[in-house]
Amino acid sequence: MDTIMEAKDIVRVFRTGGEDFTALSHVDMEIPRQSLVILKGRSGSGKTTLLNILSTLDAPTSGDVFFEDIRYGDLSVEQLEKLRRENIGFVFQSVALIPIMNAYENVDFSLRLAGVPEEERDARIREVLALVGMDERMMHMPGQMSGGEQQRIAIARAIAPKPKVIFADEPTGALDTATGLRVMDLFSSLIEKEGITIVMTTHDPNLMDMGDMLYEMEDGELTHVRK
């Protein structure tokens, strides 16, 4: 299988209260293209830290991360930001829609950010909102939607610029089981239709079987891998 991302010997040490705390310890990981990769683990196991490093939001203390053979360590802050804008999408546990923008504008903003030309934007917005089943509520403000609906808008926003990878940190964490399962179905269909790769974290055992690949984190180490 073609690998889109690779992490080699990642170590992340945080210094808190004068003491070192190792959040990630020599982690190696491969992410196949056009797959759903699930990173499971208890709270504090280091899965969000790994996700942040893979998505360029954080840098490792040592080790390398490659995105299509580009080493993060060789890129400047500006280049990393560009990489994020053009190739990476995010779905956060806290949903994090922009509260002053309605559903349409939230998606529009991510397209503008990715530099999508004006004439292509409207069609794409409608397309992704239809894809997540929110085309009827595109003019609604975040405050007027339920948690699941907001998460779907967040997913639409993440996929709209057609990133190569979407990182989703506990995307179902704030949702009930049924809505969580619907989001997972949506992820599966997006991989198929949009050809993207999704890396998500979760601690919900019901969702473990739905990924193409499952990694398990424990005390900063990748202890079990199931392909």
Partner 1 sequence: MITYVMQKIKNKGWLSVCLLLGLTFLVAVLTCQPVFKYGSLDRLLLSVFEEEVSEKNIYPAVMGVDFVMAEGATKSGIDSQISVSAGQWEKDLSDLSVIDRQTVIRTERQIGRSRFSNAGLNRAKSVALDISCMPDLESHAVICDGTGLAEYQRQGDEIPCLISARVMDQMNLTVGETVDFYFISGEKKTEFALTVAGIYAADETDTLFWQTDPATEESACYILPEDMERLMENYPLGETSVFYRVIYDYRDMNHTNIERVKEVIRREKNNPGFSDNMNDAIKSYDAGKRSILTTLFVLELPMLGMVLAFIYMVSGRIIDSEIAEIATLRSRGISKLQVIGLYALSTAILSLAAIVIGLPLGYGLCRLSASATDFLTFEFSGLNTYAPVWQMLPYALMGAAIGIFFVLLPVVLSAGVTIVQQKSRGNETGKPLWEKFYLDIVLLLVSVYMLYNFNNQKDSMRLLALSGNHMDPLMFLDSTIFVIAAGLFTLRLIHMLVRLIYRIGRRRWKPVAYASFLQITRTVKSQGFIAVFMILTVSLGLFNANAARTINRNYEDRIDYNLGADMTLQEHWKMTTFTVDKGAGPQTEYEYNEPDYSKYEALVGAGLADRVTRVIVCKCKAKAKKASSDDVLMMGISTKAFGETASLDPKLSPDIHWYHHLNALAEAKNGVIVSSNLAKDFGVGVGDRLTIDRNYDITPRASDLRGTMNPEIVAVVDNWPGYNRYHYEEDEKGKTVEKERYLVVANYASVVSAYKISPYQIWIDLAEGATADEVSSALTSEGVEIDSLSNRTTMVKDMKESAIMRITNGMFTLSFMVAIVLCSIGFLIYWISSIKQRELLFGVYRAMGLRVKDINHMLVTEHMFSTVLTVLAGGLVGVIATLLFAGLYGVAYLPEKHNVPMAIYYEAGDVIKLAAVILVMLTACALVLRKLVRSLNITQALKLGED
Residue 63 near residue 8 (C-beta atoms within 8 A):
yes
CB of 188 to partner 1, least distance (A): 24
Which is it for strands 165-169 and 36-41: parallel, antiparallel or unpaired?
A: unpaired
Beta bridge partners of 21: 14
- Which C-beta is closer to partner 1: that of 84 or that of 182? 84
Q: Which amino acid is at 73?
A: G
Instruction: Write the interaction track for partner 1 spanning residues 70-89; mark x where CB under 8 A is met and - where it is not.
Output: --------x--xx-xxx-x-
Which is it for strands 70-71 and 62-67: parallel, antiparallel or unpaired?
A: antiparallel
- Distances in Å between the alpha carbon of 67 and those of 16, 50, 52, 137? 30, 14, 14, 35
Q: Environment class of residue 120 by beta-carbon count within 10 Å: exposed (0-12), middle (13-18) or buried (19+)?
A: exposed
Residue 112 binds partner 1, judged by CB under 8 A: yes
Instruction: Write the interaction track for partner 1 spanning residues 122-161; mark x where CB under 8 A is met and - where it is not.
Output: -------------------xxxx-----------------
- Which C-beta is closer to partner 1: that of 88 or that of 213? 88
Residue 180 binds partner 1, judged by CB under 8 A: no
CB of 16 to partner 1, least distance (A): 13
The answer to whether the Cα torsion of 199, 200, 201, 202 is positive or negative is: negative
Residue 57 binds partner 1, judged by CB under 8 A: yes
**Interface with partner 1 (CB under 8 A):** 48, 52, 55, 57-58, 78, 81-82, 84-86, 88, 90, 92-96, 98-101, 105, 108-110, 112-114, 118, 121, 141-144, 169-170
